[in-house]
Structure 1
Amino acid sequence: MGELKVGIIGAGAAGYFAAIHAAQSGAQVSILEKTSKTLAKVKVSGGGRCNVTHDAREISKLVKNYPRGEKFLKKVFKHFSVNDTIEWFESRNVKTKTEGDGRMFPVSDSSQTIIDALEKEAETKNVTIIKSFNVQKIAKNHQGFEVSDGKRQLNFDRLILCSGGNPKKEGFEFIKELGHSIVPPIPSLFTFNTPTEPLRKLMGISVPNAHVRLEGTKLSYEGPLLITHWGVSGPAVLKLSAFGAEWLYDHAYQANAHIRWVASTSENDIQNQLTNFKNQHPKKKIATNPLFELPGRLWEHLTQVAEINENLLWQDIPKKQFNRMVQNLFCYIVGVKGKTTFKEEFVTAGGVELSEVDPETMESKIVKDLFFAGEVLNIDGITGGFNFQAAWSTGYLAGVNVNHPI
């Protein structure tokens, strides 16, 4: 039958990785990209540094960072792991480094290094890139697939869909028409807007390790927290938004968030530390002597909310104000009304229903010779390199399996 023709839809991380591995197995590979740019998300990710993966080497730990897709990925990662990702890039002269929080970046601190490695590899393997091809329809026939953008029509024996997430379910229409179920997309990584909260006056202030919980749920996360012009952000909030994506969507992004400013402290710890400080420094002003290494402006704000006069000394604090201060430190409540997508890290929950895809090969269980990889699937990770790891692993699996014998 001659050389196998494989079409890959989407020139992102998963698309390139799938293309490279499909071509490695001897197929004639073309990537169709709807825009005029390839690897656009790789370019801007991690503030332009590209957070390639995460140093969670054990699969059991790694999969805990995916609000959707955990069980599916457990099988996928056995075939291509974090170590495989590091090795693949390092064997192509892209050395990686691990930061304190486990995120991994190229030593160059530039996403261009990752882009160059992928483009060079694709070029070496004779992968054809066709830009500005916005797929409108895919038809399956006895010979393979007919892919059309309304003007042009291309034919392939096998197809790998790496078309990414989409904020609207219409973006998945051509996949639905092939017979696949789509889990409706909803936003996953976003900051909490708190338009009526005085806390916003403190924009720019951050704390290194806060605990944030959504009232009425068991959903909570801890990590760095940042106060912004819009409300609250930082890894603690973004990760919580991913795990709480469906709950928040169902509640129209109206909720109460409970913030403990120092995650490692209990209510008792706070009471004891305040009491000890009060006994040791009775004549110090409360408002101007921050405890728990909190920023001065934040401490001052917490005292104001507790209705503590700026000149009040520790020895004179009424019990009511003391208890309010404990409450503000342990469980500061902010009203969330709305969300703001986090920078360029646009991620959606939703996509192709995972039960319709084989996690050992990434082939569709519904349409023979059709494969999937990346965020087009109902898989999403929290920030920290997890979405890229899912892209490399699913892309690899789809690429090496697309050449199966007929």
Structure 2
Amino acid sequence: MVKLKIGVIGAGAAGYFSAIHAAKNGGEVVILEKTSKVLSKVKISGGGRCNVTHDAREVSKLVKNFPRGEKFLKKTFRHFAVNDTIEWFEKRKVKLKTEPDGRMFPVSDSSQSIIDVLEKEAEMSGVIVNRNFNVASILKNAEFFEVSDGKRKLTFDRIIICSGGSPKAEGFSFIEKVGHTIVPPIPSLFTFNTPEEPIRKLMGISLPHAHVRLEGTKLSYDGPLLITHWGVSGPAVLKLSAFGAKWLHEKDYIANAHIRWVASLSEQDIVQYLQAFKNQHPKKKVASNPLLELPGRLWEHLVQVAEINENLLWQDISKKHFNRFVQNLFCYIVNVKGKTTFKEEFVTAGGVELSEVDPETLESKIVKGLFFAGEVLNIDGITGGFNFQAAWSTGYLAGRNVNRPY
């Protein structure tokens, strides 16, 4: 039986995973990578540790972490989800561990462990990696696909596109030319810049469980919050940026963010807590006795913003200043003007329109024999290992189905 020639465009997580499974299912596989490096995003992920997946074992819970692609992935994850990922790596002697927040990393705490196993599996499966081949066009005729970088031409029976996200629509032009619709890319997973806010002088302060909401929307998220020299960051902000990506883009990244420094406390809880402390310690200074386990510098800042004198005692605080202070603790408003991409882990919303792809096989509904996997699709997850899980799942399905006889 003649092997089908399979071309995989992109040497990232989805590209390698789809190539490995395509080869194991009888394909003659070549990966085409536009740069000289492979698995570069895997290398830097999680600060070099590689956040392989997330401990969200139930598909119904897993899909809730994808601002775009939830319904599509619900079908895809039925075939390959978190347990399958763990099993696949552990069968190849790469054991994973779970951190308190649910993120999963290799026990080695090194992304090289993941890179090594993917490269080894690909090599053992006979996958060839062709570097510095930047695909400019794909042409489909009755018999095969012709892939060109403008100089060289290669032919394949089937194609899996795993070229990843792109900050610009031009990055998807070769896909548009074969007849697919591209949802224009916009940034996802970014920090909020607050250039005019005095809070920036508190850079380095972190809160374990804050609540952040975008004014004028129902969009909010709880989680760790970090104050930086450019504004506010941390998982709460990054996750909110993902779910609010489209809205924030339309607002040109100018918005008000409301921060509740302790997510678990209601406004009434804060009032009762402060009132009780005031009654028990009337002669203590407001400014120099931080409460609610807030960092001292943040507490002093909130006191100043409420225009409370640094020497004022709790027994002397006016109702006006008390209410203003409660407001700063429960709903501190920062003016967001701009964004900063989170480290090197660039994620975009946008890509191939999902209605044009079969979620059960990852095959194009428009071009027979063309498949997709990974962030090239209009799918993106919040930070925490979800984007890699989508890459493993879509890569697995594309690789498994690409050799199917027609």
Amino acid at match of 1:96: L
Percentage of matched positions with identical amino acids: 80
Which residue does the alignment assign to 2:99? 99
Structure-to-structure mapping, 1:6-405, within 5 angstroms: 6-405=6-405
What is the deviation of 1:81? 1.0
What is the deviation of 1:237? 0.2
In structure 1, the gaps of 5 or more residues are: none
Task: Quote the Cα distance in structure 2 between the aligned partners of 1:71 and 1:107.
Answer: 32
Amino acid at match of 2:153: Q
Q: TM-score, normalised by structure 1?
A: 1.00
Residues 159-190 of structure 1 deviation map (CA, whole Å, 9 limit, x = unaligned): 00000000000100000000000000000000
Which residue does the alignment assign to 1:3? 3
Task: Quote the Cα distance in structure 2 between the aligned partners of 1:61 and 1:266.
Answer: 26
What is the deviation of 1:40? 0.1
Q: TM-score, normalised by structure 2?
A: 1.00
Q: How many residues align?
A: 406
What is the deviation of 1:26? 1.0
Task: Quote the Cα distance in structure 1 between the aligned partners of 2:346 and 2:78.
Answer: 27
Amino acid at match of 2:260: R
Task: Quote the Cα distance in structure 1 between the aligned partners of 2:405 and 2:138.
Answer: 22
Look up the SS of the partner of 1:21 in the other structure: helix
Task: Quote the Cα distance in structure 2 between the aligned partners of 1:24 and 1:219.
Answer: 43
What is the deviation of 1:35? 0.5
Structure 1 stretches of at least 4 aligned residues deviating more than 2 Å after TM superposition? none
Task: Quote the Cα distance in structure 1 between the aligned partners of 2:277 and 2:152.
Answer: 75
Amino acid at match of 2:200: R
Task: Quote the Cα distance in structure 1 between the aligned partners of 2:153 and 2:97.
Answer: 44
Amino acid at match of 2:226: L
Task: Quote the Cα distance in structure 1 between the aligned partners of 2:140 and 2:275.
Answer: 73
Look up the SS of the partner of 1:391 in the other structure: helix
Residues 303-324 of structure 1 deviation map (CA, whole Å, 9 limit, x = unaligned): 0000011111101111111001
Amino acid at match of 2:341: T
What is the deviation of 1:93? 0.2
Task: Quote the Cα distance in structure 1 between the aligned partners of 2:198 and 2:191.
Answer: 17
Look up the SS of the partner of 1:216 in the other structure: coil
What is the deviation of 1:151? 1.0
Task: Quote the Cα distance in structure 2 between the aligned partners of 1:286 and 1:383.
Answer: 38
Task: Quote the Cα distance in structure 2 between the aligned partners of 1:79 and 1:2.
Answer: 28
What is the deviation of 1:121? 0.2
What is the deviation of 1:264? 0.3
Residues 329-362 of structure 1 deviation map (CA, whole Å, 9 limit, x = unaligned): 0000000000000001110000000000000000
What is the deviation of 1:3? 1.6
What is the deviation of 1:142? 1.1
What is the deviation of 1:2? 2.1
Amino acid at match of 2:210: A
Task: Quote the Cα distance in structure 2 between the aligned partners of 1:27 and 1:341.
Answer: 38
What is the deviation of 1:88? 0.1
Look up the SS of the partner of 1:303 in the other structure: helix
Task: Quote the Cα distance in structure 1 between the aligned partners of 2:96 and 2:33.
Answer: 28
Task: Quote the Cα distance in structure 2 between the aligned partners of 1:219 and 1:192.
Answer: 15
Task: Quote the Cα distance in structure 2 between the aligned partners of 1:131 and 1:323.
Answer: 63
Task: Quote the Cα distance in structure 1 between the aligned partners of 2:35 and 2:287.
Answer: 55
Task: Quote the Cα distance in structure 2 between the aligned partners of 1:275 and 1:304.
Answer: 19
Look up the SS of the partner of 2:77 in the other structure: helix
In structure 2, the gaps of 5 or more residues are: none
Amino acid at match of 1:337: K
What is the deviation of 1:143? 1.4
What is the deviation of 1:97? 0.3
Amino acid at match of 1:127: V
